[in-house]
Amino acid sequence: MQKKYYFLLSLTCLLLTCTNTNIEKKIPQKKPQNPHLKAFTNAYINRFEAILAETKTPGASLVIVKDEDVLHMSGYGTKTAFNNDSVDVHTVFRIGSLSKGFAAVLAGILVEKGALKWTDKVQDLVPEFVLKDREQAKRVNLIHLLSQSSGLPYHAYTNLVEAGLDVRKIATELKKVNLISKEGEIYAYQNAAYSLIGAAMENVKKIPIEEIFEQELFEPLQTVHFSTNYESLITTENLARPHSGGNGNWRNRKISNKYYNAIPAGGINASIADMSEWLQLLLGNRPDVISQKTLDEIFEPRIDTNNKRRYFRNWSMVEGTYYGLGWRVLTNAQDTFIYHGGFVNGYRGEILIHPKEKLGICVLANAPSKLPNRSIPTFLETYAEKRDSIHAWETRSRSERVRE
């Protein structure tokens, strides 16, 4: 009996050993880190910090995402100039016109759900929308609205947005504006007309645009600092304060409530931790929220913007400039970049994704210094320097893993 007991015990141990061995074999190997990708990240951070110091920017935050990995995320400087209250990754900024990309993606989500079609006529969704040419007003659709090609002149009635008028009321005033082209022909940047996408979404969903953003984007992304109103901003404890001035002679600015009447144009507040999750979505890593197919439709170049490309003249990596749906599309012979900048109330924001490389960056700042202007072209140039070595290592690494 004792021999039988020891035999069964030995057999059990042997089986457990075999089972454990099999389990160990199934544990996936950790993906080795690309040293050239690390070198690129370090090189860019060094350049970013040098520009930050040179421009004496009071406070900023930065995130870089590659594939599904956050390569770097950090706050820099202080929330208020000449103060010791440091910016961290949860510090909230206003993001200005970076909001336009959110509005376009939100519209794309509703298109996927069948609530909207890109070709829906604006006047059918927002009856207040009128133009001096009544027939043209009937033809303008959501693509024209989101691609800044409705035929209205540059910044039509942005002054009324800044005066706090409701965008539906502004829509009734557009009939007084002389048009510069037929729809879909000429790019001319808008805030008032662009914000009518929010009114369109409100009319189909029957709830305020703030709630649509919350339900369809912010909650699925599980972010905590995204908001779309003035009250949320001014009651935030961890808040970067806006500044005016320059060259280190910064003055605190009063926080304004402008553009919260036009949320799709410039009314979103966010931290860089939130923007990290937003970059994941834009890189196609959140198909549970929006499909790659719809993102591709949003990022498709719709209208040539060479008539207004002054901002990009010193970007060595950019040859062609277009506008998609709520996004600028920048191109060269090899690549396409999806970009937008934002400026509101002394806050600056910049965001770019490089779809082919699954690479993204966002910079938020609490002053209109040269840091945001230089951060993206410097990023592209730094990556171009390291790109070949990054790819070569990845190719070699994949080959070695296959052999193993």
pLDDT at residue 400, as a whole number: 66
pLDDT at residue 15, as a whole number: 41
pLDDT at residue 147, as a whole number: 98
The answer to whether 351 touches 339, Cβ cutoff 8 Å, is yes
Give how far the C-alpha of residue 240 lies from the chain's centroid of Cα atoms, to the nearest Å.
19
Residue 336: CB atoms within 10 A of its CB come to 17
- Give the Cα separation of 190 and 9 in Å (integer): 78
pLDDT at residue 2, as a whole number: 43
The 8-class DSSP code of residue 329 comes to E
Say whether 39 sits in a helix, a strand or coil. Answer: helix
pLDDT at residue 46, as a whole number: 98
Per-residue pLDDT of the chain (404 residues), as tens digits, is 444 444 444 444 444 444 443 333 344 445 678 999 999 999 999 999 999 999 999 999 999 999 999 999 999 999 999 999 999 999 999 999 999 999 999 999 999 999 999 999 999 999 999 999 999 999 999 999 999 999 999 999 999 999 999 999 999 999 999 999 999 999 999 999 999 999 999 999 999 999 999 999 999 999 999 999 999 999 999 999 999 998 889 999 999 999 999 999 999 999 999 999 999 999 999 999 999 999 999 999 999 998 766 788 889 999 999 999 999 999 999 999 999 999 999 999 999 999 999 999 999 999 999 999 999 999 999 999 999 999 999 888 766 654 44
- Give the Cα separation of 371 and 373 in Å (integer): 5
Q: Residue 292 — φ and ψ, nearest 5°?
A: -65, -35
Give how far the C-alpha of residue 179 lies from the chain's centroid of Cα atoms, to the nearest Å.
30
Bridge partners, 251 (sequence order)? 244
Residue with structure tokens 């979103």?
Answer: 268
Give how far the C-alpha of residue 210 lies from the chain's centroid of Cα atoms, to the nearest Å.
18
Encoded amino acid at 328, one letter: R
The full DSSP string for 186-240 is -----STTTTHHHHHHHHHHSS-HHHHHIIIIIHHHT-SS-B-SHHHHHT-SSBP
Q: Residue 253 — φ and ψ, nearest 5°?
A: -110, 155
Say whether 159 sits in a helix, a strand or coil. Answer: helix
- Give the Cα separation of 209 and 205 in Å (integer): 9
Tell me the pTM. Answer: 0.91
Say if residue 137 is exposed, middle or buried (CB neighbours under 10 Å; 0-12, 13-18, 19+).
buried
**Structure tokens of 321?**
């400039």
Say whether 372 sits in a helix, a strand or coil. Answer: helix
Digit-coded pLDDT (tens) for 295-337? 999 999 999 998 766 788 889 999 999 999 999 999 999 999 9
Domain 35-396 in this protein, CATH class: alpha beta
Say whether 145 sits in a helix, a strand or coil. Answer: helix
Helices (H), 86-187: 99-112, 122-125, 134-139, 142-146, 158-162, 167-173
Digit-coded pLDDT (tens) for 128-175? 999 999 999 999 999 999 999 999 999 999 999 999 999 999 999 999
- Give the Cα separation of 373 and 341 in Å (integer): 9
- Give the Cα separation of 131 and 343 in Å (integer): 28
Give helix 196-205 / helix 99-112 axis angle, nearest 10°. 30
